[in-house]
Structures are given as structure tokens and as C-alpha cells.
Structure 1
Amino acid sequence: MPTLPNRMPPLQSLQAFEASARHLSFSRAAEEMHLTHGAISRQVRGLEAQLGERLLARVGPRLSLTPAGRELLGRLGEPLLQLRQALQPDVPASERLELATLASFASLWLAPRLPALREALPGLQLRVETHYALSSFPPDRPRLGLRYGSGRWPGLKATALMQDRLVLLATPAALRRHGRDPAAWPASAWVRHEGTLWEDWQPQAPEPQGHRDAALVWNDAAAMVQALVATDGVGLARLSLAAGALAAKKLRLADALLAPAPMRYWLVTRPEYARHAGLKALAAQLLVMAGAWEAQWLAG
């Protein structure tokens, strides 16, 4: 357990460590604090020297938390938050709510539910940030993350939102043209998302040659679903992103198998914000909406 010496470490050293530990990156901590990579690294080294403990293990360009670093990160979050709130007492928390998520999930799952969300939470003021990389969680901003992953992120509290499904899709025209056997579908008809693997949907069946050689490959899951519709294509996708097109009959299930996706969606925040009234209300509504979506698409 890191023990503070008689002389308190500089506040900036504690902030530099907290940001570096949260991101597991000196570069991203430097960007957040508007300092250089070298300045952040020196601040952390100075803190380690003053505490007499190794807090971050450095393996090449990567960082990992030592047991002492993990404990200190857990103890620092709330005191740093209280200090910032003491210096900004007049900023209402309700005006600073943020939601960070993947652009694909924001556009095809979250956006259609925003009218219901605003009706359930009158006066909600929300900044939605979309991204591909994992977003940061600065200690001075009440932010809720909506992440797709394992649920294990150092220094953050994660609550399971929903389990997605992988589905095999085709437009009505593609089904008429190519039938329902994916082994017979030509590569020219396939639209593939590079992060969605055949073995995650059907591990017992060999991957069709057409899927491997797909004519169109996307790194964005939402764009891939939209391309399926636009090109009269076939492909694998997450059900949460395709549900709107299925409901509108622009896409059809080419197979009845709804395979659990390899990862889940999670609600994520800093532990010290877990009791924040605004974030709790927002998270509760998102859980209700996720439950309704699962009841609609996965029941039976």
C-alpha cells in the first residue's frame, strides 16, 4: 500500500499519475493535461521516488498498473473530484452530462431512442461524443461511457447493458438472386465488417470463400449495415445495428441463428461518479431501453 511521506506530493504529480493510470498512456495523459509526454513521465517518476513505490510498469511503449498503483488510483479519484468541485461550485452537474460511445452504436441504436430518452428525462442536457478508440474519463466531468468489450477497464466501474447477437443478413433482392446458402453466395455480393468474424457466428461451419474474399470490407459496423442495404448485399452484422433495417424490411434474416456476440455492451463511469444523480438517471433509462430491445428481438 503506498504510504504518503510527511511532505505531501505536488498536486500535479498526483494528477499526472491519475491520468496516466486511467489511460495507461503517458501520451494520452499529456494530451488531457496539456503537457508534454516528458513532463508527465517526470511527474510520475518523481511521485514514485517520493512514495518509494513503483506505480506503473513500463514495457516498451505500454504501461500497466502495479498493485500499489492500482490501489492508489482507486484512492485518488474521489478526492481529486471533490477538489475540482470545490473550485467550480457554481457549475450545475445537470449541465455537464456526457455520453461517450462508438459512432456505429450512437447512429443506429442510440439516436432513434433519443426522443424517448428526452421524454423520460425532461431537461436533460447531454453531450454525445462518438469515437473509435476508447474515450477518456476526466475526473472533473460526469461522463457515462457506452462501450462494447470485456467489461474490464482499470479504474472504471462497468455495468452490463446488453448482450448483442450476430446475424446473417441479406436484402430481399439478394435472397431472390442468391438463395439462402451462404456457401453459394459470390464474393461480389458479400459486404464484410473487418471486426466481425465468421467463427463468432458459426464456429462449426467452414467460412465461405465468398466471405473471405468479400468485395466490400468496412472498418465501421454502421456503414457496413448501410452498405448492405445500398448494394443489395449479404453479410454478418450485430443485431443491435441491423434491427432498424430489419424492422423496415430493408434487410432479412438469411438464417435463424442469433449467435451471442463475443463481447457485451457496458455502461462505464468513474467509481466516484457512480452515485451522481444525473448519471444514475441516464444509466437507468438506458438499461430500461436495452431491456425493451432484448424483449422485442430476443424473446423466445
Structure 2
Amino acid sequence: MHLPSTRTLQAFVATARLGSLAAASASVAMSVPALSRRLAGLERELGVRLLERVPRGVVLTSAGDDYLAHAVAVLDRLQAAAAELKRDAAVVRVTTIPAFATRWLLPRLPAFSARHPGIEVDVRTSIAFERLDDGQYDFAIRLALDHEMATDPLLPIHLLPVWSAAHPRAITCPEDVLRHQLLGPDHRPEFWQEWLRGVELEGQAARPRAIDALLLYEQTLSGAGVAIGIEPLISGLLRDGRLHALTAHRQRSARSFFLVGPAETRSRAARLFRAWLWSEAQG
């Protein structure tokens, strides 16, 4: 037995509910003769009478009443599935570390939303490198060593000391930095080590105070000390003049931010977000 098409089920449900071929034909945008043929074909395929013609329209038989419940359930489930797919296709799920989300990604998202108002970007933060193969996320933006990754970095990292614009003492060379309290992200002590090595001060006694990564630059702005600046996370603060930096001695880190995702993105929304993200990173 051939399964009826959704169009046929819609025609039957409309006729059963409205009790009139004329009213049902208008509801499903089908002529009365075409509707009659569909209903007759459905009854012939099932081998039972679903509808009885009466002077004022049509009424359901007992078999038709039973079949109506199944037809409605099928159409409802198909409609719910289509709505869920449409909703999912318009959502891009991204996981990244908190500092990247707050300092770089979230300030830029309004521009993406203005360009693509029908797409929602759901950003979740985590220090752990979340798996992507279970379909929970479309992309991960993660910090990694360049030599461990097989793809080009989304955003290379440069390191440089930064301090509050209200800092009372001048800092003009790398040696000056060591005269101040050094601040660094608590989970990334290697950043200060990288910079000191790059400016040939690795052997100096430097003991950075570990600060929660989300609060590092707030502490720096308050005048607590000199932090290791991570470009691109500090770009906005430098541009606004809230932080000053030893820009002549910026050092390229061995780490970068990488965009990680499946080889083929699952939706048009994800493809649009990926293209926009690369454009933002390169611009």
C-alpha cells in the first residue's frame, strides 16, 4: 500500500473538519473536482469509506473518525519537525573561553545581527575544549599552540605589557616593567614568560600575580599593576585610550585563537557566521 501524501492528508483533514467540499477546497487551495478525486483515491487505497455525502455536505464514517485522529497526529508531527529544523537552522552555537567572548566576540555580534537579523548566535563560555562531534556546538574558538593545529589561526596573538592610562610612572622600556607589580591571567602564566623571553629578560626575577582572566584588565584599569596584554583582547581598550602599552616591544606568541568546526557546516546560518567571523578577524 502506498502512503498518502501530506497534500492528500491535508485535504482529508480540511474536509472532515469543515464538513463541506466547497469550504475545504478553498482552505487547501484545490478545486472541488480535484479534491473529490484525492478523497476518492485515498478511500480506494485504504479500502474503506471515510466520508459519507449528505445533503448539506459530508460527514465522517466511524472509520473516517478513527483515521482523522491519525492524520492530524501525522501532520502535527511533520509541522513540529519542520519548525524545529527551521529554528535550529537559524541558530549558531559557539563555545569559547570567557575572556575572548567578552573582550572580542560579544562586542562585534550586533554588527552580525544587523546584517542577518533572522540568525541567533548562542555563545557559551568554557575553559574546557568542548567536543563538536555530538552536534551541541557548531563552532569552538579556542586558544592553541600554532604547531599543534592543522589550520590557519583565526587571530594570531601578540603580547605586550599594558597599564592604566592614569598610571603615575612612565614606562618606556622593558626594564621599566620589572619595577611594577606584574599581573597575568591565572590559567596562562606562560604569557609573561613568552614576553620576557622575547625581550631577553627571561632570567630576571619576575613574579606575576595571578588574576582571574575575566578581571585581569579591570584590575589593570584600577591601577593594580602592569598586565600582560593579549592582542586582540585589548585592542578596544588601547583604541579608547583607557590602557597604555609598550607597543614597540610587542611579541608574537606561539599561540593563537583558532576556529574549530566540522569540515562541512550543518546550516546556512553557520556558513554565514563563519564567513563573517573570518572577515572580522582579517579586518
What is the CA–CA distance in structure 2 between the aligned matches of 1:98 and 1:129, rounded to whole Å?
Answer: 8
Aligned length: 199
Q: After the TM superposition, which residues 1-300 of structure 1 pair with which residues of structure 2 at under 5 Å, given as runs?
A: 90-92=84-86, 93-141=88-136, 143-150=138-145, 160-174=153-167, 176-185=168-177, 189-194=181-186, 195=188, 196-201=190-195, 202-207=197-202, 209=204, 212-214=206-208, 216-220=209-213, 222-271=214-263, 273-274=264-265, 276-292=267-283
What residue number does 1:6 align with?
none
CA apart distance, 1:151: 6.3
Between the aligned residues of both structures, percent identity stands at 19
Secondary structure (helix, strand or coil) at the match of 1:246 reads: helix
Give the AA of the match of 2:282. Answer: G
Give the AA of the match of 2:97. Answer: L
Unpaired runs of 5+ residues, structure 2, are 1-80
Give the AA of the match of 2:278. Answer: L
- Calculate the TM-score normalised by the size of structure 1: 0.58
What residue number does 2:51 align with?
none
- Calculate the TM-score normalised by the size of structure 2: 0.61
Q: Deviations over 1:78-113 (max 9, x none)?
A: xxxxxxxxxx66422324420111110000001110
Give the AA of the match of 2:242. Answer: K
What is the CA–CA distance in structure 1 between the aligned matches of 2:146 and 2:123, rounded to whole Å?
Answer: 21
Give the AA of the match of 2:240. Answer: A
Q: Deviations over 1:102-158 (max 9, x none)?
A: 11000000111011011122211121110111112143445111111146889xx95
Given the superposition, is the C-alpha separation of residues 160 and 182 from structure 1 closer, same or farther in structure 2, using an over 3 Å criterion?
closer
What is the CA–CA distance in structure 2 between the aligned matches of 1:224 and 1:208, rounded to whole Å?
Answer: 24
What is the CA–CA distance in structure 1 between the aligned matches of 2:183 and 2:243, rounded to whole Å?
Answer: 13
Q: Deviations over 1:252-285 (max 9, x none)?
A: 11241222121121111123x4363221110000
What is the CA–CA distance in structure 2 between the aligned matches of 1:187 and 1:130, rounded to whole Å?
Answer: 35
Measured on the aligned residues, the alpha-carbon RMSD in Å equals 2.9
The 8 Å contact of residues 158 and 269 in structure 1, kept in 2 or not, is answered as no
Secondary structure (helix, strand or coil) at the match of 1:289 reads: helix
CA apart distance, 1:187: 6.2
What is the CA–CA distance in structure 1 between the aligned matches of 2:242 and 2:260, rounded to whole Å?
Answer: 33
The 8 Å contact of residues 238 and 244 in structure 2, kept in 1 or not, is answered as yes
Unpaired runs of 5+ residues, structure 1, are 1-87, 293-300
Given the superposition, is the C-alpha separation of residues 142 and 276 from structure 1 closer, same or farther in structure 2, using an over 3 Å criterion?
farther
Structure with higher Rg: it is: 2
Q: Deviations over 1:57-82 (max 9, x none)?
A: xxxxxxxxxxxxxxxxxxxxxxxxxx
Give the AA of the match of 1:258. Answer: R
Secondary structure (helix, strand or coil) at the match of 2:229 reads: strand
What is the CA–CA distance in structure 2 between the aligned matches of 1:172 and 1:103, rounded to whole Å?
Answer: 25
